[in-house]
Chains A and B, each alone.
Chain A
Amino acid sequence: MDILGYDFMIRAMIAAVFTGLAAPVVGTYLVQRRLALMGDGIGHVAVTGVALGLLTNTSPTWTAVVVAILGAVLIEVIREKGHANGDVALALLFYGGIAGGVMITGLAGQSAARLQEFLFGSITTISPQDVWVTMALSAIVILLGVGLAPQLFAVAQDQEFARVAGLNIRVYNVLVAVLAAVTVTVAMRTVGLLLVSALMIVPVATAQQLTRSFRATLLAAMCLGVGASFGGLMVSAVAFDVAPGPTIVLLALACFVLTWPVGMWLRRRRRQRQPFDELAPLAHDAIDEHPHEHGENCGHTAVPHGDHVDYVHDGHRHAPHGVHYDEH
């Protein structure tokens, strides 16, 4: 594995670890707000930012950060207004972003291949200066996203409650939008603008198959994000002709596909064991013969029902009553 000794590979590994950690932090808040596609939207708008950088011969990273933040704040304003066709307004913004980006790239006399570096990522061509920028911006996202977790959680969970608790919800909403924009531009070197949202959302979707709390979801998503981005980079380093960006995303998706059946099973089991309403049965409905004796570990689902337990099998709910069973 002498490829690991190359400088460009070390830079790529550092960038992969930092973006893999930072992207799911923002993704968790986006999923909590049911805004999973917002990262995609910002990614589209950022294309224009990259193109402006190419046109003006400045760093595409910085122009992309500026344009993405403007786009994210605009999306947040449209969302806050809550217009009936707010989602149409967002769609217009996305299409404008990507079309403008492609057009400006052409005007700048740059080839489509140059733009493609940003659309699909080119982590192995990342410069030392870009690595520092990636590390710094990722660290800011992680510190704010984890440090302000109680506030960001409360605002995303219940805006009205957060307001009456004295939180300035507009500040926190804009903060999440800005963090999302920064994450998009940081991750565009790793997985590319078109796949950025996947690195933010897929680890969260995977984590929540197995978790029961916000905290566990956030931490598990960060671990899965690092695992996918670092693992994807390694796979593409070993296998020829495999681009790192798509490999990272496909690895993250593979994790989701593996955990999804487990999550289905857990949810189904949880639903089955949910207590029945504490209403008294309509009548005393005794069962004449019941060859099976229910009890702990009898194999049938035991569901709490008021002060006793009902056993569920074949569409029946049986509760022990003295020597016989009642149908509840």
Chain B
Amino acid sequence: MLTDPTDRDRTVLEIEDGSVAISGRPILRHIDVRIERGEFVALMGANGSGKSTLVRAMTGLLRIGGGSVTLFGAQLSDFHDWHRIGFVPQRATAASGIPVSVWEVVASGRLTRRRLLRPLLRKDRQAIKDALDVVGLRDRSHDGINTLSGGQQQRVLIARALAGEPELFFLDEPTAGVDLPNQQALALALETLKSRGATVVLVAHELGPMTPLVDRAIVMRDGRIAYDGPPLADHEVHGPLFGAGHSHHHVVPVVDDHTPQLGLNRHREHH
């Protein structure tokens, strides 16, 4: 890691008073986030709370309406070092209309570092092999992607993001609909990333086996940041303070005290 980091150098991503509107309807409002090098941030919240929208705004997939997004010190519109970013979009499958091998999907992640019309170099191949090793699918590299289970396909998508050797990862719900053994394999891969010093922004409905990796939790509720601080357990995130009518829990009357962080301990005994 950095030996003498100044405050600016440590910041990899910063959003100041960011807002996003889709078709004129305000979705995200008053977003202020700063993420520092090496942090493992879990972006949590109920369905429709805006967590995926926030990641899409961070990666430039959605244009921010107000405020500013800064990546590695550059405004998003002036940012061109895409090889520093690794993105795992929310997808149920990695398949398309044509047979595709695992190797080919992962190799497409290397594009951020390849020039036009150049073949794969030795270092490209090495990076692809390393990425497959990290997710534990090296032995499947020549198999068709549609012979893999949903959880294994998610691991392939993570390997694709890894192949570009980025510094900052965005993962949008990689564990949605993934069985427990594959969630554990995903957690293992993310642990490797973390130990290499990567910064990770993980969107998740529930953390499961990834809980011990998280340094910081940001909880979204109705398009705003409701909590930003030390990691929370899954049941706290989906408790009455942040959940938008989440059905797994008993309905507990919410005390409208406008200070969710302070209210946490008081409500814990209701579960």
Partner among A33, A158, A166, A270 whose Cβ is within 8 Å of the Cβ of B91: A158
| Count, chain B residues at interface, CB 8 A | 40
Instruction: Report yes or no: A156 in contact with B96, Cβ–Cβ below 8 A.
Output: yes
Residues of A within 8 A of B109 (CB): 161, 165
List A residues 132-160 near B (Cβ within 8 Å): 147-148, 150-151, 153-154, 156-158, 160
Cβ contacts under 8 Å, B164 to chain A: 165
Minimum Cβ distance to chain A for residue B23 (Å)? 12
Residues 31 to 51 of chain A near chain B (Cβ within 8 Å): 31-34, 36
User: Is B147's CB under 8 angstroms from A28's CB?
Assistant: no
**Is B70 part of the contact surface with A, judged by Cβ < 8 Å?**
no
Asked if A215 CB lies within 8 Å of chain B CBs, one says yes
Closest to A167 in B: B111
Cβ of B149 and Cβ of A274 under 8 Å apart?
A: yes
- Given A204-B98, A214-B100, A217-B99, A166 and B116 contact (CB-CB distance below 8 Å): no
Residues of B within 8 A of A279 (CB): 179, 181
- B87, A161: Cβ atoms under 8 Å? yes
CA of A270 to CA of B179 in the docked complex: distance in angstroms?
Answer: 21
Per the bound structure, the CA–CA distance linking A161 and B89 in Å amounts to 7
The distance in angstroms between the C-alpha atoms of A275 and B148, with both chains bound, is 9
Find B96's partner among A36, A157, A213, A274 (CB 8 Å cutoff): A157
CA distance A165 to B105 in the complex (A): 13
* Nearest CB of A to B234, in Å: 21
A208 close to B (CB within 8 Å)? yes
Q: Is A164 an interface residue (CB 8 A)?
A: yes
Contacts of B258 in A (CB 8 A): none
Interface residues of A (CB under 8 A from B): 28, 31-34, 36, 147-148, 150-151, 153-154, 156-158, 160-167, 204, 208, 211-217, 270, 274-275, 277-279
Residues of B within 8 A of A (CB): 59-61, 80, 82-83, 85, 87, 89, 91, 94, 96-101, 103-105, 107-109, 111-112, 114, 116-117, 142-144, 147, 149, 157, 160-161, 164, 170, 179, 181
